[in-house]
Amino acid sequence: MATIAIYSLKGGVGKTTLAVNLAWCAASLSARRTLLWDLDAQGAASWMLHAGPARQPASALFQKDVDPAKLVQPTAVARLDLIAADASLRDLDRQFHELDRKKRLRKLVESAARDHDRVILDCPPGLGDTADQAIRSADLIVVPVIPSPLSARAYAAVTDHVGARRPILPVFVMVDRRRALHRAALTAHPAWPVIPMASAVEQMADRRAPIGTYARASPAATAFADLWRHIEQRLAG
Ligand SMILES: Nc1ncnc2c1ncn2[C@@H]1O[C@H](COP(=O)(O)OP(=O)(O)OP(=O)(O)O)[C@@H](O)[C@H]1O
Ligand SMILES: [Mg+2]
């Protein structure tokens, strides 16, 4: 089993979009038994994957002695399961802080994903205790970076924060090659994977489905698939 955290200190940079599509790639293209764990109180990934009503609030996992496997639900995608988020995760940073057990999430992931090969964590933005727990849980940290000076600063803050603890894979997202700034950023980091800006990606919120289910041959879907293959190689290497 391998855990991949999709993380950035910045909000609105494409974490959830990456998480949902990479989870779809893992389940559909690599036939991995995949668990997407939505750790963001906004619950965007849960909504996108049509999460059903939960038997317990999502925060019960962090507060009570609940078997995390009980919160795992199937999705419409074969081999893709979900632990959904809800508003009870609003103050997850504080909940983790008060727990004062640095490997709590890691232990929960291990027991939730007993029957899974790949776990994808959709993290909320920030550098707080939730981020720390996700970093400690992950074998690889995928960081979406919009090619802009501000995102580059945020990426530097992430690498500082993670340090040598875990491998990090930066990914350029929402790339528009017509923009000089974007082209310059790509030239500065030629090895970073690239996900283009695409209306097919924006449509995910409308269709409530991973892009691979409705625009599989699109350049954006192909870019997510290439990124997933790259991640599998990193995990194997
Ligand atoms: N490659 C892309 N092309 C076009 N739009 C994109 C792309 N990636 C993300 N978006 C759009 O950008 C917005 C933010 O994306 P997303 O919700 O994935 O970010 P996030 O980092 O998870 O945000 P938050 O910090 O609020 O959780 C969404 O409207 C999404 O549709
Ligand atoms: Mg998100």
Residue whose pair of structure tokens reads 């802080």 in the numeric block: 97
Measuring CA to CA, how many Å separate 197 from each of 152, 159, 225? 18, 24, 15
| Angle, helices 104-112/92-99, rounded to nearest 10 degrees | 100
The conformation of residue 77, written as its DSSP 8-state character, comes to: S
Tell me the per-residue pLDDT of 24-38, one tens digit each, with 9 for 90 and over.
999 999 999 999 999
Distance 210 CA to ligand 1 centre (A): 13
- Residue 198 in contact with ligand 1 by CB distance below 6 A: yes
Tell me the per-residue pLDDT of 155-180, one tens digit each, with 9 for 90 and over.
999 999 999 999 999 999 999 999 99
Mean pLDDT, the chain, rounded, equals: 95
Distance 235 CA to ligand 2 centre (A): 24
**Residue 100 pLDDT class (50, 70, 90 cuts):** confident
Closest ligand 1 atom to the C-alpha of 196? 1
Which residues have CB atoms below 5 A from the ion given as ligand 2? 15-16, 44
* The pair of three-digit structure tokens given for residue 159, joined into one six-digit string: 């690498």
- Residue 92 in contact with ligand 1 by CB distance below 6 A: no
Task: Kindly list the strands in the beta sheet with 140-145, ordered across the sheet, starting from the edge strand earlier in the chain.
Answer: 72-74, 80-83, 34-38, 118-122, 2-6, 140-145, 168-175, 194-196
Distance 20 CA to ligand 2 centre (A): 10
Tell me the per-residue pLDDT of 1-24, one tens digit each, with 9 for 90 and over.
999 999 999 999 999 999 999 999
Which mutation among 8, 9, 17 tests ligand 1's pocket best, with the greatest number of atoms within 8 A of CB? 17
- Residue 146 in contact with ligand 1 by CB distance below 6 A: no
In this predicted structure, the answer to whether residue 55 has a pLDDT above a threshold of 90 is no
Q: Are 184 and 165 in contact (CB under 8 A)?
A: no
Distance 111 CA to ligand 2 centre (A): 24
- Residue 59 in contact with ligand 1 by CB distance below 6 A: no
How many Å apart are CA 76 and CA 213, to the nearest integer? 11
In this predicted structure, the answer to whether residue 64 has a pLDDT above a threshold of 90 is no
Q: Which residues pair with 120 in a beta bridge?
A: 4, 36
Closest ligand 1 atom to the C-alpha of 197? 3
How many Å apart are CA 35 and CA 110, to the nearest integer? 11
Q: How many CB atoms neighbour CB 110 within 10 A?
A: 15
How many Å apart are CA 126 and CA 124, to the nearest integer? 7
How much is the pTM? 0.97
